[in-house]
Chain A
Amino acid sequence: MYTISNRLKIVSLILMIVGGAFWGTSYVSSHVTVEDVKVMLAEEEASHGGGHEAEATNHAPADTHGEATADHGDEHAEHVMHQIHNRPYSALYVAAFFFFMIALGVLAFYGIQYASQAGWSPVLFRVMEGITYYVLPGGLIVLAIAFWAGDHIFIWMDPEVVAHDELIQGKADWLNKPWFFIRGLIFLGGWSLYRYFSRKFSIAQDSADDNRNFKKNFRISAAFLVFYIYTESMMSWDWIMSVDPHWFSTLFGWYVFASMFVSGITVIALVTMYLKSKGLMDFVNDSHMHDLAKFMFAISIFWTYLWFSQFMLIWYANIPEEVTYFVTRIEDYKLPFFGMLALNFIFPFLVLMNSDYKRINWFIVMAGIAILVGHYVDVYNMIMPATVGDRWGFGLAEFGAIFFFLGLFMLVVFYAISKQPLLAKGNPFVKESEQFHY
């Protein structure tokens, strides 16, 4: 039985308070007016030696805000002002979604372990159940931020913009506010229901004298996976792809899935290692860590495969309405866009290839941190270019939001883990799992 330590509580609370303060500061300081922006742009122009003027004129036709007015300077300044306003909202949304998707990825992994009747993983079930406790609060927070931020993140929520945009009008049957939130609540409801019942049956199985609860869990897991693969896809269109309502990609849902799956598995490995280091999970051996590391390795490659498939197909065909997505990312986000490939693919690929290294804890931690940072940057790359454009950075807003949600995530997850014994001892596969060796 794990009891949440005071130190962990304090660290989480400090993270939340510091994060909240950082983010609040950035939120307050982002309230700039058009006049402030004009001054700022003039300063930038002076320091760039007038190079900005050419950029500003190039920028105007791509401006989604629309009408070509005679006063070019004002329109540009207004555009930049919106981007500066959007930044704290987007930073909050990116971090909220990142930690939510970890929990959802773990839920999918957990469902797969049940549905495939995996013999190695039951010793990790309580850790997974603890992490998935964050699905419901985390998902509601993401939806709440979407509701509060509104058109700061989702341009199609602005009736002004939609009125002048035939493309968005054509999608209004899907992309409208009430339906967006109803859908979100349906997705979350389905996932949380599965999470609630699978946890309930898993705990009931501990004291049962037959396998009835396990069988129920097997059935609902199979049903959940079907529900999940549809809703996850739609969730990725709604919560992520719709920040660029002019753009679409068919494999986007799987791409987001790969991202959440690999981050989820990484977090399972890190939490397990933490609990094991406290001597609470001695039934977890090197081979379990080896298997988790294999999953981290393999799903990192799977993510890269989907990333590349999406990028290469669009790059190759170079159809203007699709390729703008990558043009903005390569021009304005060169370092995060290609840097995440190093973090998400090259580093874990080389570090986790050797079978012996997959058993060395600090190797897994090292690769795990790279993977988590990389997938945060991945979410960042999906959201930010649509909301703040080239006015991006990693500052108070981003770090504040990360700290806040990291603290919240740790608090919720370790609280949930502390509620039940760490070994699902009634699971029919738990003996096999305890003796698992590779």
Chain B
Amino acid sequence: MESSKVIHAIYTDDDVLMSAVKKVKAAKHHIEEIYTPFPVHGLDKAMGLAPTRLAITAFMYGCLGLIVSIVMMNYIMIEDWPQNIGGKPSFSYLENMPAFVPIMFELTVFFSAHLMVITFYLRSRMWPFKKAENPDPRTTDDHFLMEVSVHGDEKELETFLAGTGAVEINIVDKEAH
């Protein structure tokens, strides 16, 4: 396994972190990852991360749920055993549709919500018994950590990061995954 070096620059304020991110981006250093205790508004934009496509998947899952509900009730109530239940017209799906709408709605929401959450878990690799990937426990409380990969001059990068307002800078040998 090849090991590479990264710098962990630790900040104690999200505003300082934001301006540091902009400076690091401007200096064309590659930010590997940023660890924060809470969502920092605008951080993804400053880092230049691509927007999420989770909402698009949710829409597609919703469509799937709608189709499942329609096919299911059309088969059960109209095709398989079109019984007369309290005079409801089970001659065609359309004629009896108002009675199915609550189920159509709920299954759309159910599929959309649950499958989107599962997609989120898969995509961000979260599951029970997963080993936490946290370089410094303080980042879950009140510290912000920027991980910058080292290419070339280590010392220069270190002084550059110290200039951006980092309170602590550590050079870490990181095992490649």
Contact = CB atoms under 8 A, between A and B. Distances in A.
B99 interface: yes
A315 B100 CA distance: 12
B55 A311 contact: no
A394 interface: no
A327 interface: no
Given A318-B87, A353-B59, A355-B55, A308 B101 contact: yes
Interface string B41-60: 00000000000000100010
A311 B98 contact: yes
A316 B98 CA distance: 8
A312 interface: yes
Name which of B87, B98, B99 has the most chain A CB atoms within 10 A of its CB.
Answer: B98
A26 B152 CA distance: 86
A311 B98 CA distance: 8
A316 B87 contact: no
Interface residues of B, number: 6
Contacts of B98: 308, 311-312, 315-316
Interface in B81-98: 87, 98
Name which of A311, A315, A353, A355 has the most chain B CB atoms within 10 A of its CB.
Answer: A315
Nearest to A305: B105
Interface string A344-357: 00000000010100
A353 B60 CA distance: 13
A308 B105 CA distance: 12
Contacts of B101: 308, 312
B122 to A, nearest CB: 23
Contacts of B99: 312, 316
Contacts of A312: 98-99, 101
Nearest to A354: B55
Nearest to B56: A354
A355 B87 CA distance: 44
Contacts of B87: 318
Nearest to A355: B55
A117 to B, nearest CB: 21
B86 to A, nearest CB: 9
A308 B101 CA distance: 9
Contacts of A308: 98, 101
A369 B4 CA distance: 59
A257 B32 CA distance: 52
A407 B59 CA distance: 41
Interface in A310-338: 311-312, 315-316, 318
Interface in B13-43: none
Interface string A376-392: 00000000000000000
A318 B59 CA distance: 35
Contacts of A315: 98
Contacts of A353: 59
Interface in B55-71: 55, 59
A316 B55 CA distance: 35
A37 to B, nearest CB: 35
Contacts of B59: 353
A213 B87 CA distance: 61
A286 B87 CA distance: 52
A346 to B, nearest CB: 13
A97 B156 CA distance: 73
Nearest to A312: B98
Nearest to A313: B98
A304 to B, nearest CB: 10
A254 B99 CA distance: 22
Nearest to A314: B98
Contacts of A355: 55
A315 B101 CA distance: 13
A366 to B, nearest CB: 20
A353 B108 CA distance: 15
Contacts of A316: 98-99
Nearest to A315: B98
A312 B102 CA distance: 10
B56 to A, nearest CB: 9
Contacts of B55: 355
A355 B59 CA distance: 13
A326 to B, nearest CB: 10
A312 B99 CA distance: 7
A312 B55 CA distance: 30
A253 B67 CA distance: 34
A294 to B, nearest CB: 14
B44 to A, nearest CB: 15
12 contacts: A308-B98, A308-B101, A311-B98, A312-B98, A312-B99, A312-B101, A315-B98, A316-B98, A316-B99, A318-B87, A353-B59, A355-B55
Given A312-B99, A318-B87, 10 more contacts: A308-B98, A308-B101, A311-B98, A312-B98, A312-B101, A315-B98, A316-B98, A316-B99, A353-B59, A355-B55
Across the A-B interface, the 3 shortest Cβ-Cβ residue pairs: A312-B98, A315-B98, A316-B99
